[in-house]
Chains A and B, each alone.
Chain A
Amino acid sequence: MHTLIQEMKNKFSGDDDFFALEETFMDSRVVLAGFNTLLDIATTKLGLQAYIEAAVLTGTARDELKAELGEVCDRSDSAKARLSLLTGKLLICFEDDGSCVIMEPTPKPLNRAIEPPINENVFQGSLNSFTEDIHANIGIVRKQLLTDNLRVGSYHIGTEETTKISLLYYEGRTNMEFIHKLVGQIQKNRSRQIENLQQLSKKIMGFPSWVLISKFSQTELPQEAANFLRKGRAVLFIDRLPIALVVPSLLWDVFFLDSDRNLPLPLMLFLRALRLIGAWLTVVLPGLYVALVSVNPEVLRIEMAISIAQTRVGIPYPAIIEMILMLFILELIIEASIRLPKNIGPTITMVGGIILGQAVVQAKLVSNLLIIILAATTISNSTIVGLQHSLSLRISKYVIVIMAAIYGVLGILEGLLLICAYVASLNTYGIPYIGFSSKKDEIKHG
């Protein structure tokens, strides 16, 4: 028997879905091998038959037929054969001369269709979103960007378990120095295995792991991804991950959405200003409550100070404990409503509403004002673009709350300064996080 087939049979002897069928093509014996869970045997065979019949009719030689069927490969290249089988290709081995062909068969339908986005809402924009299949994703981007300047490079990462990643960029608008750096990193570390984005950013890209803000901006909207490409950023796709990773990520991604531009200019500015104010309120409001109640009440007008003090009558602990306690419950509610299936989710909302509503106030555990602050914070936290950004924002407000408890209003301002300094110190291969776009001819397109 063919040596390569024998090797594959040994390799996949424990796999029930592996098949090796003997057939006769144009008077020579061949073995077809593959996984019946990844490819549709019956349709593939029909297709093969059509090829052979056409070849017999036109009198094509066998070597030409091989080239027509797919990629002819050497019998000694077992690693490549193994990878092709695992990615759902059909291996055709000719017994008499020992050559092999890797053919693209009819695949089993294992991908979902292109659907509207789930994690991001679109307001007046295109509704497609990325899916798990990397080819489909690149195809969608190509549909969005009809230009011959879009470059796509694909890499297989890892030796034991292989992950395919693709790098897309817009030639002529992207800073090529940055792209070379990126490609160099991928090439250098291509033998390392990655299973998640943490590993991608640490092992492949060489980013530090203790950062609050991811170096990748994520989006599942093709329209946004295409716009990032136009602005000179690079987009990374990972097979089986239905999101586009935009590098370098910039601060303005948090506030500016491309589909805003489908609205008239004043409305767009209004929306963006709202997001900025939302982010600012999220960070400042809880701290302001703690500072004004416990450290600097004299800053307030006397009427205001008294009415705040009245809402806190009978509450047994300091403002900081009150605040941290309720923020913590709120975080739990948010996390729980993400975890739960859609049909139980509303229960959490309802129960949470009862806790955060009247009950906790009537039980004299927290003040009325705190509930208002808490609600305002949560709402404003959700105004910014992208869930991972709102997570960073959620964490940073604790810095301010703690500093406000110690230093009052001074603590808030200094905490803001600290956060600003942190944000300002971030950069991706020398491209600052708070810059407007990636270095080169950016102002024009940004």
Chain B
Amino acid sequence: MDKSWQVTLIYFITHLGLIFFMYPGDIIASTEDGHWIPIVLGFAVHLGAIAVYMKGLVRLGNRDIVSMYLGMGKGVSLLFLLPITVYFLLICVVSVRCLSEIMTVVFLSSTPLWAIMFLFLFISSYIAFKGIRSIFRTGLLIGCINVPVILFFFSASFQNVDWRYVYPLIGKSSFLTNPSYLESFFVFAGGFLFLGFTQPYVAYRKRHIVFGALALLPFFVFSVYIPILTFGQATASTFNFPFVVALDTISITWIMFDRITLFLLLSLISFMMLYLSIVLWSAMRVVNQSFPSLKPAYILLAIPLFVFIVCLYIPDWKDITEFYWWGTYLRFYILVAVPLSTCFFAGRIRKRKVGL
């Protein structure tokens, strides 16, 4: 059955969840002017990676990339599947630890950190446990509830902007080597990997994903520009989460709530939960297909447990950023190697079939 809309929606909302937390801070830290250049450049890389990946997946037909790598022999599968798995685990650790830190900072100051991490991991593993089709349907429901909320607050966030802060439009190219800029690729890598895992369960038209990606562009741009337009570059660069702070400045008199940040943030966290559940499920697929004797249910218990323990051992924000930085090389490897290898191997498989 064709599930293009569901897959596109999931792609869209998981990226929404990713964009608003770390990305604005990273971009603002990476350069002082002309922020649109790093954004567009990153986005172009993302779009290119997706285009190549989709091409490979079309060639691959009705299979997922795990079975493709496994079919290519042990060396290949070790070369690609091991980094993918490690990367998935890294994503889980960083996101869970990071989100729970944000939660304690923003509004759960008296709740212990482990309780919040437990909640996040419990919910995402529960969703992952129900299977990929169920994840997509959950995405549909939660999207219907939360996307209007996000769009509303997103448009309300233009309340305090001063458009003169857009200038200067052209900046230096020094951002390319800035570590913060390299870290910002967290948003671009990883979020699209799941598209190669859904194949035997959920079929979709690959072109829709590109449209979904294009619809994300305004969010990429304005998540960075709203804090800059509100505070100016100099002030905005002092915040850890500039977008969240920018939202805190909004006041809507007819709403009985004082801090509307909360609702946007929480909707985004629901999307992050979906993202985490997809990552957990994908990691489970990799492990399960590589070691078929392990039961999926046990794997889905073991991975979150492992992530939870690692998260407990990260003491503070500085260590999270360090963890975040470790992932950078892996991130670029995934961003470049997985789409290209998928395209290449899928082409070879198809040729072999035609040859037979």
By a beta-carbon cutoff of 8 Å, the part of chain A in contact with chain B is 295-296, 298-302, 304, 406-411, 413-414, 416-418, 420-421, 423-425, 432, 434
Residues in B whose Cβ lies below 8 Å from that of A418: 123, 126
**Could you list 22 examples of A-B contacts with CB < 8 Å?**
A300-B257, A301-B256, A301-B258, A407-B108, A407-B115, A409-B263, A409-B266, A410-B266, A413-B269, A417-B123, A417-B127, A417-B138, A417-B142, A417-B270, A420-B141, A420-B145, A421-B123, A421-B130, A424-B130, A425-B130, A425-B131, A425-B134
Looking at the assembled complex, report how far the CB atom of B193 sits from the nearest CB atom of chain A, in whole angstroms.
21
Which residue of chain B is the closest to A301 with respect to CB atoms? Answer: B258
Residues in A whose Cβ lies below 8 Å from that of B259: 298-299
Q: In the complex the two chains form, is A304's CB within 8 Å of B256's CB?
A: yes
Residues in B whose Cβ lies below 8 Å from that of A417: 123, 127, 138, 142, 270, 273-274
Looking at the assembled complex, report how far the CB atom of A83 sits from the nearest CB atom of chain B, in whole angstroms.
44
Tell me the chain B residues, 38-95 only, with Cβ under 8 Å from chain A.
none
Given A407-B111, A434-B141, A414–B130 Cβ distance below 8 Å?
A: no
Q: In the complex the two chains form, is A407's CB within 8 Å of B140's CB?
A: no
Looking at the assembled complex, report how far the CB atom of A438 sits from the nearest CB atom of chain B, in whole angstroms.
13
For chain B, the count of residues having a C-beta within 8 Å of the partner chain is 32
A-B contact sample (15 more), CB < 8 A, given A300-B257, A424-B138: A296-B262, A299-B107, A304-B256, A406-B111, A406-B115, A408-B107, A410-B116, A413-B270, A414-B119, A417-B142, A417-B274, A421-B127, A425-B130, A425-B134, A434-B141
Q: In the complex the two chains form, is A298's CB within 8 Å of B141's CB?
A: no
Given A408-B108, A416-B145, A424–B134 Cβ distance below 8 Å?
A: yes
Given A302-B258, A406-B115, A413-B270, A420–B138 Cβ distance below 8 Å?
A: yes
* B137 is an interface residue with CB less than 8 A from chain A: yes
* B267 is an interface residue with CB less than 8 A from chain A: yes
- C-alpha spacing A38/B141, complex, angstroms: 53
Residues in A whose Cβ lies below 8 Å from that of B145: 416, 420
Q: In the complex the two chains form, is B270's CB within 8 Å of A414's CB?
A: yes
Tell me the chain B residues, 116-150 only, with Cβ under 8 Å from chain A.
116, 119, 123, 126-127, 130-131, 133-134, 137-138, 140-142, 145
Which residue of chain A is the closest to B143 with respect to CB atoms? Answer: A420
Looking at the assembled complex, report how far the CB atom of A302 sits from the nearest CB atom of chain B, in whole angstroms.
7
* B244 is an interface residue with CB less than 8 A from chain A: no
* B311 is an interface residue with CB less than 8 A from chain A: no
- C-alpha spacing A298/B261, complex, angstroms: 12
By a beta-carbon cutoff of 8 Å, the part of chain B in contact with chain A is 103, 107-108, 111, 115-116, 119, 123, 126-127, 130-131, 133-134, 137-138, 140-142, 145, 256-259, 262-263, 266-267, 269-270, 273-274
| Best-buried of A409, A416, A420 by chain B (most CB within 10 Å) | A420
Task: List 5 tightest A-B contacts by C-beta distance, closest first.
Answer: A424-B137, A425-B130, A425-B134, A420-B141, A424-B138
Given A299-B262, A418-B126, A434–B140 Cβ distance below 8 Å?
A: yes
| Best-buried of A296, A417, A424, A425 by chain B (most CB within 10 Å) | A417
Which residue of chain A is the closest to B142 with respect to CB atoms? Answer: A420
- C-alpha spacing A10/B267, complex, angstroms: 73
Chief secondary structure at chain A's binding surface: helix
Chief secondary structure at chain B's binding surface: helix
Looking at the assembled complex, report how far the CB atom of A177 sits from the nearest CB atom of chain B, in whole angstroms.
13
- C-alpha spacing A411/B111, complex, angstroms: 12
Residues in A whose Cβ lies below 8 Å from that of B263: 409
Which residue of chain B is the closest to A420 with respect to CB atoms? Answer: B141
Which residue of chain B is the closest to A424 with respect to CB atoms? Answer: B137
Looking at the assembled complex, report how far the CB atom of A265 sits from the nearest CB atom of chain B, in whole angstroms.
21
- C-alpha spacing A299/B265, complex, angstroms: 13
Q: In the complex the two chains form, is A410's CB within 8 Å of B108's CB?
A: yes
- C-alpha spacing A367/B247, complex, angstroms: 33
- C-alpha spacing A408/B104, complex, angstroms: 12
- C-alpha spacing A409/B266, complex, angstroms: 8
Which residue of chain A is the closest to B267 with respect to CB atoms? Answer: A413
- C-alpha spacing A424/B270, complex, angstroms: 15
Q: In the complex the two chains form, is A299's CB within 8 Å of B266's CB?
A: no
Residues in B whose Cβ lies below 8 Å from that of A425: 130-131, 134, 137-138
- C-alpha spacing A299/B255, complex, angstroms: 11
Looking at the assembled complex, report how far the CB atom of B207 sits from the nearest CB atom of chain A, in whole angstroms.
21
Residues in A whose Cβ lies below 8 Å from that of B256: 300-301, 304
Which residue of chain A is the closest to B146 with respect to CB atoms? Answer: A413
Residues in A whose Cβ lies below 8 Å from that of B127: 417, 421
Q: In the complex the two chains form, is A299's CB within 8 Å of B138's CB?
A: no
- C-alpha spacing A299/B261, complex, angstroms: 9
Looking at the assembled complex, report how far the CB atom of B325 sits from the nearest CB atom of chain A, in whole angstroms.
28
Residues in B whose Cβ lies below 8 Å from that of A416: 142, 145, 270
- C-alpha spacing A302/B257, complex, angstroms: 9
Q: In the complex the two chains form, is A421's CB within 8 Å of B134's CB?
A: yes
Looking at the assembled complex, report how far the CB atom of B253 sits from the nearest CB atom of chain A, in whole angstroms.
9
- C-alpha spacing A413/B263, complex, angstroms: 9
- C-alpha spacing A390/B256, complex, angstroms: 29
Which residue of chain A is the closest to B106 with respect to CB atoms? Answer: A410
Given A296-B107, A302-B258, A418-B123, A410–B269 Cβ distance below 8 Å?
A: yes
- C-alpha spacing A410/B273, complex, angstroms: 12
Residues in A whose Cβ lies below 8 Å from that of B130: 421, 424-425
Q: In the complex the two chains form, is B257's CB within 8 Å of A301's CB?
A: yes
Q: In the complex the two chains form, is B108's CB within 8 Å of A295's CB?
A: yes
Q: In the complex the two chains form, is B142's CB within 8 Å of A432's CB?
A: no
- C-alpha spacing A167/B259, complex, angstroms: 55
Given A299-B259, A299-B262, A424-B137, A414–B108 Cβ distance below 8 Å?
A: no
Which residue of chain B is the closest to A296 with respect to CB atoms? Answer: B107
Which residue of chain A is the closest to B257 with respect to CB atoms? Answer: A299
Looking at the assembled complex, report how far the CB atom of B170 sits from the nearest CB atom of chain A, in whole angstroms.
41
Q: In the complex the two chains form, is B141's CB within 8 Å of A414's CB?
A: no
Residues in A whose Cβ lies below 8 Å from that of B107: 296, 298-299, 408-410
Looking at the assembled complex, report how far the CB atom of A353 sits from the nearest CB atom of chain B, in whole angstroms.
28
Residues in A whose Cβ lies below 8 Å from that of B131: 425
Residues in B whose Cβ lies below 8 Å from that of A413: 266-267, 269-270
Looking at the assembled complex, report how far the CB atom of B260 sits from the nearest CB atom of chain A, in whole angstroms.
9
- C-alpha spacing A97/B269, complex, angstroms: 83
Which residue of chain A is the closest to B277 with respect to CB atoms? Answer: A421
Which residue of chain B is the closest to A432 with respect to CB atoms? Answer: B137
Q: In the complex the two chains form, is A414's CB within 8 Å of B134's CB?
A: no
Residues in A whose Cβ lies below 8 Å from that of B141: 420, 423-424, 434
Residues in B whose Cβ lies below 8 Å from that of A432: 133, 137
| Best-buried of A295, A301, A421 by chain B (most CB within 10 Å) | A421
Looking at the assembled complex, report how far the CB atom of B293 sits from the nearest CB atom of chain A, in whole angstroms.
26
| Best-buried of A299, A406, A416 by chain B (most CB within 10 Å) | A299
Looking at the assembled complex, report how far the CB atom of A18 sits from the nearest CB atom of chain B, in whole angstroms.
55
- C-alpha spacing A424/B140, complex, angstroms: 9
Looking at the assembled complex, report how far the CB atom of B101 sits from the nearest CB atom of chain A, in whole angstroms.
13
Residues in B whose Cβ lies below 8 Å from that of A414: 119, 123, 269-270, 273
Which residue of chain A is the closest to B145 with respect to CB atoms? Answer: A416
